[in-house]
Amino acid sequence: MRMVLGFRLRLALFFVGMLAALQLITGALVYGVTRHALIVDGERQLAASAKAFTAQLEDVSARIAGNVRVIALDFALRQAIAQGDRGTVLSVLHNHGRRVGASRMQLVNMDDTIAADTADGHADGKLFQFPELIQRAFNQQTAVMTAVQGHVYWIVVVPIYAPQPVGLIVVYVQVDDELLAHMQELSTLRRDVALEVQMAPSQWRAVARGDRSTPFARGLEQVTGDFPTEPGLRRIAQSDYIVLAQPLQHPDNSAPVVALFGYSLDDALRPYHNLVLAWLALLALGLAAGLLGIWVIARNVSRPVEWLATVAKRIEQGDYHIPARSNRRDEIGALANAIGTMAAAVQQREERIYHQATHDDVTGLPNRASIEDDIARDMAGNVTRGSLLMIGLTRRLEIIKTMGHALCDRLMREAGERIQRAAVGAQVARATDGNFAAWFAGSDPDDAVSAANRILDALAMPYTESGVSIDMGPAIGIALYPTHAIAAFALLRYAETAQFAAAGSSKAWAFYDASIDPHRPERLSLMGELREAITQGHLELYYQPKLTLATRHLEGVEALVRWNHPQRGLISPDVFIAMAEDTGNIQHLTRWVLGAAVTQASRWHEQGLNLSMAVNLSAHDLSDVDLPRYLADLTDLHRLPHALLTLEITERAVIGEFESALRVLQQLGEHGFQIAIDDFGVGQSSLSYLHRLPVDELKIDQSFVKHLIDDVDDRVIVRSIVELSHNLGYKVTAEGVEDEGTLHYLSSIACDHAQGFFVARPMQARALHDFVATQIDSSDV
């Protein structure tokens, strides 16, 4: 139900959201256009106000100048000036100053000194503060805005002629809040107007405001920075204002004065608030009506979709029966019919795919995955024991190569039928291309052996076709539940492992034996631990002495790697060396052994023990083209003479890739390293390649040496090898010497060296050093 309502709600919200988004975009556009228009209108009004203010100031200055010129024509004033009557001059200036609204009047002499000042009785004789206005007054009407002692004055300067210039009258009209308010009453001057005086760079102070109660007037105290001379937006008192600063003419030594005009954008937008509220109400009403209508539409659309979703859910769960529904002739009805047809087709196709996924195409038998599921199901049920037989036809690949796949498929089909007839009560499957599996639930080992013999008898008769008789070569591996495994997949693998072992046995069947399983989990774990042992130096070298029979001195040793596992104890070299070859770690192991052996040989060489060091190489090492250079660099680094390092190889290591191995051995010989053939005599083609190898020494395999005293044939073979080796210029070492008689016989036939437990067992480096020292002492005696 949650999914259905969610679909309806999402459909309704989509349409409502589209409608709301359209309305909001429209409202935003209208607001933006309106605001822009108000800004343009505000800028226009500010420019008009600036012009009006300037014109008013010019009118005021013209009126004041006219009145001052009347004063200048006053005979009494000119006579008082001529007579130097300061009292009369001050009286006239006071009277006329009140008439023109001046707050200060001054009479300035032609030498720029002050003759009289109505506001400062001590100004007489002082220089006039703005001398540049005097020269300008004789040429044109002079009126400027000046900041004096924290106040702003509109200064008008008019010369006095009698008939020559005798002085100048300076009128100071203070521009304050009252004057600005009066100018606002007489004209269309804006309410938000103020006079600002620059106190310092980017610092202004308001000295007069048209109306101090407005937010604009109050907010000017917090405004910093310069004001724009072109209309621009400023944030004042948490409101947006369009501001224009009109610079006013001022003397050079006076602080700049500007008339600042403000246009409140918030006040301009206020008449539109009711319109916005009305629009919001209409938007809410429209959205409510739209939501109701869209919900009805969504409900009519979603019901068929919900039904189709239910059908799809049932199909997903494997139920292909379409629930009944009233016929519709619209697109939804057509879709429902199509889904019904599709469900039937999917059901048929799924059944076919399932059969193909669980059965073998050639024999029609269940496949490995199917029988694994059956075994797991029986194990999870009431079955407490059972046996799994893995029947392999060992000649399958040979049959394919000789007769082709088609005949082999027919042979496998008949083999499956024979197994089914012989394995009564078993579940039979084709586990792999060449293997069949038969699961006997509840059987014991004796039952498994009986079933195996029956199957072998059934498969013993050759397969015949068109005059061709083919022996199938069956072999059966047996794995028991729960003796060998308690999981189906493990039981299958163990049975397959046993089948490989059975292929070489006389009985042609075999039980699973964990001790000979090369794929058991313990071995996989040991592979990883071997890599760790190589990289972290957990391996150790033991050294087996090699006795020179002519002198009975120890002149060399063979390095043998040992691994004493912290949990598993001492692990046989045959086990972990073979494992290193299987996992590709043999070259890493060889490099470690070479490094440790060369280091130890170099240490002995520095101590005066010139023992040759022999190290075994594998077939993988002989494919390493970098090995000669590596060994040369290694021995040079440790200052070990190359002739003290002997590299032992087996015949089998060379035969596989003879040419590539020969190149590596030749390079090793060119570097001066000694080459020895280990286990000589047990190979198949020793003499065929021996003369091509750069060999220095042959080591007779211990199988010929252990029974040398008792076996005449072994003595003949050993003697022949020694004579052959000497004739070819090789030294000879006999391995496996375990008694005095053998040692004596080897000496009698001029064998060069002997190695074995009778001479000395493998030992650690410190023990070998003591052993060699003992041999030296005994020889001295």
Give me the amino acid identity at 686: S
Token digits of residue 727: 């004739």
424 Cβ contact partners less than 8 Å away, ≥ 6 residues apart: none
Instruction: Look up the CATH number of domain 42-279.
Output: 3.30.450.20
Asked which of 3-12, 102-111, 163-172, 184-193 is least confident by mean pLDDT, the reply is 3-12
Q: What's the CA gap between 247 and 378, in Å, rounded?
A: 103
Q: Which CATH number fits domain 523-780: 3.30.9.10, 3.40.50.740, 3.20.20.450, 3.40.640.10?
A: 3.20.20.450
Question: Which helix (H) or strand (E) segment is 594 a member of?
Answer: helix 586-606
Per-residue pLDDT reduced to its tens digit, 3-39: 445 566 666 677 777 877 877 787 778 778 887 887 7
Cβ atoms 477, 493 nearer than 8 A: no
Sign of CA dihedral 124, 129, 132, 138: negative
Q: Model confidence at 692, in pLDDT bands (50, 70, 90)?
A: confident
Cβ atoms 372, 489 nearer than 8 A: yes
Q: What's the CA gap between 431 and 477, in Å, rounded?
A: 13
Share of the chain above pLDDT 70, in %: 89
Token digits of residue 479: 């794995």
Sign of CA dihedral 596, 602, 607, 612: positive
pLDDT for residue 475: 92
749 Cβ contact partners less than 8 Å away, ≥ 6 residues apart: 718, 719, 722
Cis peptide, bond prior to residue 573, ω within 30 of zero: no
Token digits of residue 342: 């599709």
pLDDT for residue 616: 93
373 Cβ contact partners less than 8 Å away, ≥ 6 residues apart: 488
DSSP secondary structure string for all residues of 286-348? HHHHHHHHHHHHHHHHHHHHHHHHHHHHHHHTT--PPPP-----SHHHHHHHHHHHHHHHHHH
Q: Is 279 helix (H, G, I), strand (E, B) or coil?
A: helix
pLDDT for residue 520: 62
Asked which of 50-64, 186-200, 333-347 is least confident by mean pLDDT, the reply is 333-347
Based on its alpha-carbon atoms, the radius of gyration of the chain, rounded to whole angstroms, reads 59
Q: Which of 38-47, 239-248, 469-478 has the highest mean pLDDT?
A: 469-478
Look at residues 491, 456, 462 and name the one whose alpha carbon lies nearest to residue 476: 456
Per-residue pLDDT reduced to its tens digit, 388-439: 999 999 888 888 888 888 888 999 999 999 999 999 989 999 998 889 999 9
Cβ atoms 696, 612 nearer than 8 A: no
Cβ atoms 96, 71 nearer than 8 A: yes
555 secondary structure, DSSP code: E
What 3 state SS string does 705-770 have? CCCCCCCHHHHHHHHHHHHHHHHHCCEEEEECCCCHHHHHHHHHCCCCEEECCCCCCCECHHHHHH
Token digits of residue 222: 């917090």
Higher pLDDT, 398 or 643: 643
Give the C-alpha distances (Å, rounded to integers) separating 99 from 67, 88, 173, 185, 381.
Answer: 9, 17, 12, 20, 125
What 3 state SS string does 90-142 have? HHHHHHHHHHHCCCEEEEECCCCEEEEECCCCCCCCCECCCCHHHHHHHHCCE
**What CATH architecture is 363-514?**
2-Layer Sandwich (3.30)
Q: What's the CA gap between 62 and 742, in Å, rounded?
A: 147
What's the whole-number mean pLDDT along residues 439-453?
93
Higher pLDDT, 2 or 363: 363
What's the whole-number mean pLDDT along residues 663-674?
93
Look at residues 538, 369, 412, 392 and name the one whose alpha carbon lies nearest to residue 452: 392
- Bridging pattern class, strands 697-700 and 674-680: parallel
pLDDT for residue 56: 78
Q: Which of 153-157, 259-263, 624-628 has the highest mean pLDDT?
A: 624-628
What's the whole-number mean pLDDT along residues 263-282?
77
What's the whole-number mean pLDDT along residues 553-560?
93
Mean pLDDT of the chain: 83
Asked which of 20-24, 253-257, 713-717 is least confident by mean pLDDT, the reply is 20-24
Higher pLDDT, 258 or 342: 258
What's the whole-number mean pLDDT along residues 305-311?
70
Give the C-alpha distances (Å, rounded to integers) separating 235 from 48, 362, 686.
Answer: 22, 88, 103
* Whether pLDDT at 136 is above 80: yes
Share of the chain above pLDDT 90, in %: 29
Q: What's the CA gap between 493 and 690, in Å, rounded?
A: 44
Q: What's the CA gap between 300 and 474, in Å, rounded?
A: 70
The C-alpha angle 586, 592, 593, rounded to 5 degrees, equals 90
Q: Is 230 helix (H, G, I), strand (E, B) or coil?
A: coil
Cβ atoms 157, 170 nearer than 8 A: yes
Q: What's the CA gap between 617 and 640, in Å, rounded?
A: 19
Per-residue pLDDT reduced to its tens digit, 353-368: 877 888 888 899 999 9
Asked which of 299-313, 688-702, 715-729 is least confident by mean pLDDT, the reply is 299-313
* Whether pLDDT at 217 is above 90: no
What's the whole-number mean pLDDT along residues 161-188?
79
Token digits of residue 29: 């556009």
Give me the amino acid identity at 106: Q
pLDDT for residue 60: 75
- Bridging pattern class, strands 612-616 and 645-650: parallel
507 secondary structure, DSSP code: S
* Whether pLDDT at 749 is above 90: yes
Q: Which residue has the tokens 């280091």?
A: 599
Other C-beta atoms closer than 10 Å to the C-beta of 552 total 13
C-alpha atoms less than 13 angstroms from C-alpha of 139 in its C-beta half-sphere = 5
291 burial (CB, 10 Å; 0-12 / 13-18 / 19+) is middle
Give me the amino acid identity at 251: P
- Bridging pattern class, strands 697-700 and 474-481: unpaired
Q: C-alpha dihedral over 361, 367, 369, 372, to 10 degrees?
A: 170
* Whether pLDDT at 110 is above 70: yes
Per-residue pLDDT reduced to its tens digit, 50-93: 787 778 777 777 777 777 777 777 777 777 887 778 888 888 88
First to last CA, the chain: 105
Displacement of CA 456 from its chain's centroid (Å): 58
pLDDT for residue 2: 46
pLDDT for residue 532: 81
Length of the chain, please? Answer: 781
Q: Is 624 helix (H, G, I), strand (E, B) or coil?
A: coil
Q: What's the CA gap between 390 and 475, in Å, rounded?
A: 8
Asked which of 213-217, 375-379, 499-503, 598-602 is least confident by mean pLDDT, the reply is 213-217
C-alpha atoms less than 13 angstroms from C-alpha of 658 in its C-beta half-sphere = 11
pLDDT for residue 629: 95
Q: Which residue has the tokens 């006329």?
A: 96
